[in-house]
Chains A and B, each alone.
Chain A
Amino acid sequence: MRCRHAQANRSSDRSRKGTCKRSSRTGEDIKEAAGGILSAQAAQKASSEEIKMVVKVYGKAQAVCPQRVMHCLVELGVPFELVHIDIDAMEHKLPEFMSKQPFGQVPYIADGDFELFESRAIVRYLAAKYSDRRHGTPNLLGRTPEERARVEQWMDVEAINYNPWAFPVVLNLFVLPMHGVPENKAEAAAAVEKLDQVLEVYEKHLSKSKYLAGDEFTLADLTHIPATRYVVECCGMGRIFDEKKHVKAWWEDITGRPAWKKVMSFVESGASNYYP
């Protein structure tokens, strides 16, 4: 797949506004239930609350951390608006942005009045709040305390043992060349070697476990995807994944998920609004 890194088209997805499928299903269900539990007024309130429940994601569509958050939202069936932040124009370092994210990084989100930053904290919040919304929503945090601990363990592996090597690969082999800035090839090569060693551990683990935390796809797998896609597709480093049978199968499985494909389509389209 060719790597796309064009500037996002800023026009909002006007044709999709107001088509919140879930609210119309709720209204119909209420009407059908004779002597229904909820009054028509209450049903309206639930519908209008649902339409208002659009999470705002402040970031750049092509950036890794906003993609992590958007993927989680799509998996959980939560509508969102991407408020495009112009990284090239240093918008993320302006006082207005930094009053929301004091380290000047993307993304931050606003869920109604509630604002938070750090994509790995955001996805934990979203998973806690929005799982079990409807049949078919995946359980992204594990079902028992032990499963949850394993999800959190592998989330930390991504943050502390994996990303520190993926990041310099993407920086030196993709981001800097794209901006015409000289890259550090030695740093990239060293990072590829470290990442390869980490993936050897993943290979052994995934030979015994379908997903990182067990039998189900969870946040532990999800948090890996955006940066890894850049490593594999935009840095010419697919071989360190392809050479490992179980890592390769895992990678193909998690990137084959409909929710991830929807995120990639969304990013390519340059849209601002996502409705499940």
Chain B
Amino acid sequence: MRELGLEDHFAEGCEGAENTAARFELCQQLWDKLKTDTEALQDELNRKVLDSLLDLTRKCSTTRQHSDWASKMRASEIPTAALVLGVNVPDHDMTFQSLSELLQQSVTPHVASVQAKECGTLKHLMKRVLERLTGTAVDDEEEEEEGAEQTSTPLHKSSHCSLSTLCDWYNAKARKSSTGTPGKKRSSPTKDEHQQPPVVIIFKDLEAFNPRVLQNFILICSLYIERLPLMFIFGIATSPSTIQHMLPHSVSSLLCIELFQSLSCTQHLATVIDKLILTPQFPFKLNGKVMQVLISIFLYHDFSVRNFIKGVQLALLEHFHSQPLSVLCCKKKQALLNVTQLGHLDLERVRQLPSFKRYVERQEHQEQVSLLTDDGHLKEVCQRLIKDLRKYHKNYYPVLRCLHTLTSSLPRYPLGKQIRELHLICLEKNVSENEDYQSAMKLLKMLAKDELITLLQRCADILQSVKSKKMRTAHVQLEELLAKFKQLDSVETAPVVEENITSPVRNLQKKTDLFQLQKTLLEMNESRRSKKLSPFEVLRNDALEFIDGLVKSHLCPPESQTLNEACYYSSSATVRRHLNAAPRTSIQAALRTPYYYIQNDSLKTEDGSVSNAAPDICIAYKLHLECGRLINLFDWLEAYATVVSAAEGNDPDSDDYGKVDEVKHSRSSARFIQAVSELEFLGFIKSTKQKTDHVARLTWGGC
């Protein structure tokens, strides 16, 4: 049922209504895949940290049973894991989710996670912890004030929010489980160690907690540590030294803190891009501008991978919503099938595509006519073009990776340190025309032999795994080149005799004339420059030419590909508007063009002026734009009254007007005062003492 509702929303205002269902389904499929993939990826990335955390909890549950001297001396400390996660707070939820799931599966059923915003006071913190651990609602003194009459039931009495309640509960649990399985207990002695599963309390955002509350809570917990195997996990966004800032020595000495550092968010993003964006498996693509917007939001604003994925989701949805040809944005087989089902209208849309127009122009006249008139022929061509597009993607990514491996270690990073930067360059325009590319190639020529060989070897490894005909041949060629390099090693031990250089030097010794000397020196210089290349240099140039050839043929921008509009989402403005909202711009848009929001036809104007039927504040705003730094209130009021009375159909020159409709006048000035105070509230003007009856304008530009 819910699905249906979603689909209805999707179909609403959708471009090209015929195939909305198919597009919606495709969109759903892709999003589901994207979601599961990112989640799996995140789990994998966090695996190491989470595993060591789990180890710690296991260890602290087992060491408690040990009666060895050292651990007995340490028994009063609460084991604590400080998990440093980075400032991308929105991403942490998922990490903590999987952490508590893992803990519950493998170590202990008693896990409670708390957030700062729900624990303003010690009582609330205690209550949350108890609630989450025991799974029941603990009664609160504030709640019961509302229903004071019913409080006479003494049943709830014993469950006050305190750790002793928790202790009792824990002991009851432990007793139940030990009496429940008496047979098993004897059979496996290792089971005894897990008899006391620790009670884990996760503080998701340590920084936001009130330090007093946290200190008191830790103090209380330390009173119970002998009876209750407690353990803390602190989620830290900034740096571990926050613990020292928040907790005094007397409190932090009660903790046995171990530090865990999770992967930095930039690395996380790099992996997500690497695994999800730079792969031909995922038919939906982002063009350079959209990609740029998403990445800059990440780098400049939030560092949040989750928000990045949200941005991709938005682009995905917008693409399928607004582009009717997005039915072709799917797996190859289905795409070919969908081509055959395209209606006449869709085929017309194909003909309108800029990339297709360019394609048509390249064809011969006969072909052009049939492409533009014969639907059946167009479908066949489309199938071929879609296959071409797929091939392009299949070759693009491996070559991109190769180029990245070659250039990412060059000094000053001419083509960027990260593969995403290179990808952006390639999406923008032909990379081989790029100046940085030329300089990168020059730098590559200066590499030492073994460096070059290792880089080429890595490229060969990348190409090896690709299942495409062209890439396979490229791999073979590269392997051949590499083999030649290795042969060089054995051959080059014999030094090449440089005869032509030695001869002028020998001549030099005979001549004493200055002019002659100069001449010979120039000659020497020249001969050195045009010196015969060593076999290594020849081979190196071959290899680099080969790479250059690969880049030129496979790394052309997607805009050059026919039918790229079906797979590439290009409206960066939409993404920016949705993800990086500018409140002031929208306020100004609303004031300037009220039609945009109110959608009342009478407000529609052509030249950007405000109709006089617009809301008062819009008129006042419009008038204030025409003023200087200081605005005379009376003049403003006069101008306003003129506009408004014109709207009410009064002719200022008529006889009626001369009588001065007192009521009307006072009403309009009241409306004006309200509009002005609204503008003041929005921060466009403020009162000033510089001049009587004037207000100061606070924004500039526009008019």
Q: Do A and B come from one complex?
A: no
A residues in contact (CB < 8 Å) with B = none
B residues in contact (CB < 8 Å) with A = none
